[in-house]
Structure 1
Amino acid sequence: MLRCLPRAPHRPAGPRPPSRAAPASFTAAGRGSAAPLPLSYMVFDGSTPQSPLVFLHGLLGSKSNFRAIARALVQRTGRKVLTVDARNHGDSPHSPTMSYEAMSLDVQRLLRQLHLPKCVLIGHSMGGKTAMTLALQQPDLVERLVSVDISPTESVAVTNFQAYISAMRRVSIPNGIPRSTARRLAEDQLYPAVQASAVRRFLLTNLVEVEGRYMWRVNLEAISQHMADIMGFPVFHMPYPGPTLFLAGSDSSYVSSEDYPEIERLFPKAEIHYITGAGHWVHADKSQEFITAICNFLLVP
């Protein structure tokens, strides 16, 4: 039975797009089922033989987003922790395909490569939808599931990411200038569309220098072309039977009471917990509370 602490905020008013159809279970010929990619990842070694924690970041993020969290959880739980770059993000390969089926396959490939028969899968936003897709397709691989500030529904009505991507694509930086100057110019150009300084700093983590030229390391072209897929969620009919935590920010609208029926249908052992004072980037806004919630879910004393 669904447990929720505390009460969820309502999603802002507005029409909700219909769910996009997708295979109810994975097949090799399914939509977006191109060959899985070798993902870039970091390992933080633990001392116990328990299943590792695997972190999947959100849209426009990278594996480094969870570096401090990973170190803290190794200390608190003793478990090994992995943080992973999604395709078209960070140091992972680029691809024209950007569906949740494809991203789930990428993570499955990594788990096999590392000989991990089970893991605790923790995904934020886009990474949360990837984690949910994997758990629903291959429940035997997932000991426990944590979805951070995202639900298994359409996200179009509550997101600003399309505006962020459009702003990033408009940025123009001269070649051969110091990195500090390039970063300042990029931030100035982002400001009209992205006025929250924390969001600008987050986006600027993707600005890299390659042979004197500045560019975005994320594949903005592929992400833009597949934004409807990223904002949507595949249709599934069989639930994930394992323990699940939906960990959301009280100041965010990504997990709303409107989502509860679908959460309960697909994740019958789900709990929903809201961290007071946190927005969409829960782990950055309230890192200690986030770590404590994960430890409580893992039954760590």
Structure 2
Amino acid sequence: MFPTFRFLPPRLTRLPCQTRGLARVTGHIHGSDVVPVELSYTSFVPENGNATEGPLVILHGLFGSKRNWGSICKALHRDMPDRPIYALDLRNHGTSPHVKPHTYDAMARDVEKFIEEKGLKDVALLGHSMGGKTAMAYALSTKERNVPPGTLSKLIVVDIAPSIGSLSPEFKKYTEAMQKIEDLPAGVIKTRTDADHRLRAYEEDMSVRQFLLTNLHLPSHSRTAKHDGSPEKAKFIVPLSILSHSIGDLGSFPYQYNAEDNTVPVTWDGPTLALKGTMSAYINRKNIPALNAFFPNVRLEELDTGHWVHAEKPTEFRKLVVDFLNQ
């Protein structure tokens, strides 16, 4: 996995689920009923044993995982030793189940299941990019799903807005490139360097390629054949077939903002912190009205970064988060 995020340059801002434009109709986008799954997670529990009161729950972005947040979680644990911290793998990422559909409604249901089964109270929910949209979807669904009062207390959204539009075209290009690597005969891809060489035809930025390759599982040197005797192939740990068919869903959002009269079907009125990278366009003048409408108690802060706010300015990011949670 990526050893740390702090070396990611601002140019990687165009990778995770960028959307363009805003819908002009209002209402909730109802999908088919989904069955929530049990999410994999990493926890940091205070010495006093408190695992349920006032936790910080962290949701990663597209192609990310809980392990990408390991260093930040450890630092936040030092900053807030009495607050439990949970970093989750969203569905179809990390070691969580691979299952359809890959929608924000489904991911929000998974988070709801996790919070409920762990008995968490007074939760602060933090999400980056795809995880940020998931966090917003969960917050906005708490009323209609009768989530007990006091379950969610604070919301932190990192460089994403509740907008609806087309997913950045690079997403499709990357999934196609990764699928082509998986389709290669066994023995062709033996190292990450081999895979990186194949990705160069689709992406010139090495940092983007490195990020994508954090999801690559290479054949074991000690076991080169599967149980049926066929040789192992390099494979990505994320289900590319599911994600490639979820392009429209990842560009969407469960609730629609009416730009003509600045109205929304539901709001979440709790304290909300939105963190924007000044060199990123994910939060912009066109979608800030939607952010304010859905979350009337939002405070927008900016850091001199690209999309990876928490990675490019980790110390400043942590200070904003800790100060917000301690208010």
- Which interval holds the TM-score relative to the shorter structure? 0.7 to 0.9
Written as runs of structure 1 = structure 2, the 5 A alignment for 1:111-190 is 111-138=115-142, 140=149, 141-154=151-164, 156=166, 160-172=170-182, 174-175=185-186, 181-190=190-199
SS in 1 for 2:162: coil
Written as runs of structure 1 = structure 2, the 5 A alignment for 1:34-49 is 34-47=34-47, 49=50
CA separation of 1:155 and 1:148: change in aligned 2, threshold 3 A: farther
* Equivalent position amino acid for 1:57 in 2: H
| TM-score, with structure 2 as normaliser | 0.79
* Equivalent position amino acid for 1:114 in 2: K
> Please, which of 262, 281, 302 is the counterpart of residue 253 of structure 1?
281
Q: Tell me if the contact between 2:23 and 2:165 (Cα under 8 Å) persists in the aligned partners.
A: no
Written as runs of structure 1 = structure 2, the 5 A alignment for 1:194-205 is 194-205=203-214
* Equivalent position amino acid for 1:60 in 2: F
* Equivalent position amino acid for 1:264 in 2: N
SS in 1 for 2:292: helix
Per-residue CA deviation, residues 67-90 of structure 1 (Å, 9 max, x unaligned), is 111110011012111110111111
Aligned-pair distance for 1:299? 2.8
What residue is the counterpart of 1:263 in the other structure? 291
Per-residue CA deviation, residues 115-174 of structure 1 (Å, 9 max, x unaligned), is 113311000111000000000111643210011110000253656322222221222455
Aligned-pair distance for 1:92? 0.5
> Please, which of 247, 266, 269 is the counterpart of residue 227 of structure 1?
247
Structure 2 Cα separation of the partners of residues 227 and 20 of structure 1? 21
SS in 1 for 2:43: strand
CA separation of 1:247 and 1:54: change in aligned 2, threshold 3 A: same
What residue is the counterpart of 1:66 in the other structure? 69
CA separation of 1:89 and 1:32: change in aligned 2, threshold 3 A: farther
Structure 1: unaligned runs, 5 residues or longer = 1-13, 25-29
Q: Tell me if the contact between 1:247 and 1:273 (Cα under 8 Å) persists in the aligned partners.
A: yes
Q: Tell me if the contact between 2:61 and 2:131 (Cα under 8 Å) persists in the aligned partners.
A: yes
Q: Is 1:55 the equivalent of 2:85?
A: no
Structure 1 Cα separation of the partners of residues 170 and 25 of structure 2? 20
Structure 2 Cα separation of the partners of residues 162 and 23 of structure 1? 26
CA separation of 1:60 and 1:157: change in aligned 2, threshold 3 A: closer
What residue is the counterpart of 1:242 in the other structure? 270
Q: Tell me if the contact between 2:107 and 2:134 (Cα under 8 Å) persists in the aligned partners.
A: yes
Percent identity of paired positions between Structure 1 and Structure 2: 35
Number of aligned residue pairs? 280
What residue is the counterpart of 1:294 in the other structure? 321
Aligned-pair distance for 1:214? 1.5
Per-residue CA deviation, residues 277-296 of structure 1 (Å, 9 max, x unaligned), is x1112222221121111112
Larger radius of gyration: 2
Per-residue CA deviation, residues 249-301 of structure 1 (Å, 9 max, x unaligned), is 1111100011121111100010111111x11122222211211111121137x
SS in 2 for 1:156: coil
Greater helix fraction, Structure 1 or Structure 2: 1
Structure 2 Cα separation of the partners of residues 287 and 33 of structure 1? 38
| TM-score, with structure 1 as normaliser | 0.85
Structure 2 Cα separation of the partners of residues 142 and 134 of structure 1? 9
State the superposition RMSD in angstroms: 2.5
CA separation of 1:176 and 1:45: change in aligned 2, threshold 3 A: farther
* Equivalent position amino acid for 1:126 in 2: M
Aligned-pair distance for 1:20? 8.4
> Please, which of 289, 306, 310 is the counterpart of residue 283 of structure 1?
310
- Bigger Cα displacement from structure 2, 38-47 vs 266-275: 38-47
Moved over 4 A (4+): 19-22, 47-50
